[in-house]
Amino acid sequence: MTYDFDRRIDRRHTRSYKWDQNDKLFGDSDVLSLWVADMDFLSPPAVQAVLEKRAALGVYGYAIRSNSYFDAIVNWFERRHGWSIDPKWISDSPSIVTTLSLAVELFSEPGSQVVLQSPVYYPFYDVIQGNGRIVAKNPLVLRNGRYEIDYDHLESLFQGGAKLLLLCSPHNPGGRVWEREELLRLGDLCLKHGVTVISDEIHCDLALSGHKHIPFASLSPELADITLTGLAATKTFNLPGLQTSYIVASNPSMKRKFDHRIKTLSLHMAHHFAQDAVEAAYNEGEAWLDEMLAYVEGNLSYTLAYFKEHLPEAKPLRPDGTYLLWIDCRDLGLTVSELKALMFKQAKVAFSEGSVFGTEGEGWLRINLACPRSIVEQALRQFVQAARNR
């Protein structure tokens, strides 16, 4: 089956977080939105069908989770990632960021340092600081057009007392799909220094050609024992508005602590729609995912070639995974405010401005390529023309 990823869907006036805030955020309702990490594609047909069937019940009462929901998760990770998960290791959470925040609260002490690897998805900073902890940055090192981990600096943070690491795998915004050797070396340091790992793997299904995501907890029983993994079908199948995710933790003590806190906050009840959507996506959405990834890779190739030809001062990092492209615009010589003005006022496009991912992101932009090719073409054309005319 061929899916129509070229179709332009007008999402304005649908209470879209991505498209219905343009006036408020950017001062112009006609700005093209390529910032928030959701897709401008229809979700898989099986997901649409099961949600319509669920809605047709007409009674939206309290729900439970069926065994088939957990089976769908287990089978997906065995099939796509070669990771054998026991259903007893799984617990639902409203979102990955909820998981990160609760994990910081549960597995670190107030006033302690929590490590992140910057530049990184901005809620990492929020959940650390909002819980009264201290951000301990382990900045990634840019070598030969890709990010690498600074292991010596990371170990110095652990030696300085940091006992919790928030790992972003695959990495957002840098697009790295960490390789086995990289993860094993990181894991050795964590085991050596008694560090707990909270691994955000929401982009795990979005590895691009030639790359393979390796779940951190799948590397060894010892690493699984110190890891709580945050996962979701929402990035994979464009379901973020359903507010659903789950954790995998084989360590019974870690899972009990997490489950207790989730129940204390009364976040443990099943969503009326979400479980059906996740189950349908995992069981019947694989062909859609493969076609979607191929389409996004086409968008990526187009974008890389366009910048090289028309604005070589902008230097994209070719991602290993995700549908996000991280672009070094520092050679344009613009301040953060000038870069925003270039996008929002002159080009009338909204990419994500890099400083929100940390000071290491100043002068960078993140573009969401999970949209029809015609939107990518229009956005690039407007941005490059504005950059050339400034």
- pLDDT tens profile 269-280: 999 999 999 999
Secondary structure letter of residue 42 according to DSSP: P
Query: Quick one: pLDDT at residue 129?
Result: 98
**Over pLDDT 90: what percentage of the chain?**
99
Average pLDDT over residues 145-155: 97
Asked whether the CA dihedral 8, 13, 14, 17 is positive or negative, the reply is positive
| Segment 8-14 mean pLDDT | 97
DSSP structure class, residue 332: G
Is 371:41 a contact under the CB 8 Å cutoff?
A: yes
Mean per-residue pLDDT of the chain: 98
How far is the C-alpha of 6 from the C-alpha of 371, rounded, in Å?
8
Confidence of residue 43 (pLDDT cuts 50, 70, 90): very high
pLDDT tier at 134, thresholds 50, 70, 90: very high
Tell me the average pLDDT across 307-323. 98
C-beta separation of 174 from 354 below 8 A? no
pTM of the model: 0.97
SS3 state of residue 321: strand
pLDDT category at 390 given cuts 50, 70, 90 is confident
Interhelix angle 45-55/274-284, rounded to 10 degrees, is 150
50 neighbors 334 (Cβ within 8 angstroms): no
What pLDDT band is residue 153 in, cutting at 50, 70 and 90? Answer: very high
Bin 140: left if φ > 0, else alpha if -120 < ψ < 50, else beta. beta
* pLDDT mean over 232-256: 98
pLDDT at 1: 64
Q: For residue range 53-100, what is the model confidence (pLDDT) as tens digits?
A: 999 999 999 999 999 999 999 999 999 999 999 999 999 999 999 999
Q: Hey, what CATH class is 22-44+286-389 in?
A: alpha beta
Inter-residue contact 176 to 146 (CB < 8 Å) = yes
Residue ranges per domain, the chain? Answer: 22-44+286-389, 48-284
Percent of the chain's residues with pLDDT above 70: 100
- The predicted-structure confidence for 356-378, as pLDDT tens digits, reads as follows 999 999 999 999 999 999 999 99
Kindly state the DSSP code that residue 160 receives in the 8-state scheme: T
Checking if the pLDDT of 245 tops 90, the result is yes
Instruction: Collect all residues with Cβ–Cβ distance below 8 Å to 211 and sequence separation of at least 6.
Output: 177, 320, 321
**Is 317 a residue whose pLDDT tops 80?**
yes
Confidence of residue 169 (pLDDT cuts 50, 70, 90): very high
- Asked whether 18 and 36 are in contact (CB, 8 A), the reply is yes
CA separation for the pair 158, 12 (Å, rounded)? 47
Question: And the tokens for 276?
Answer: 């059906």
H/E stretch holding 164 reads strand 164-168
Q: pLDDT digit string (tens) for 287-302?
A: 999 999 999 999 999 9
Q: How many CB atoms lie within 10 A of CB 272?
A: 16
Residue 109 pLDDT greater than 80, yes or no: yes
Radius of gyration of the chain (CA): 21
CATH value of 48-284 in 1.20.1250.20, 3.40.640.10, 3.30.1490.20, 3.30.565.10:
3.40.640.10
Torsion sign, CA atoms 373, 376, 380, 383: positive
With the CA atoms of 9, 324, 322 and 153 taken in that order, what torsion angle do they form, in degrees rounded to the nearest 10?
-160
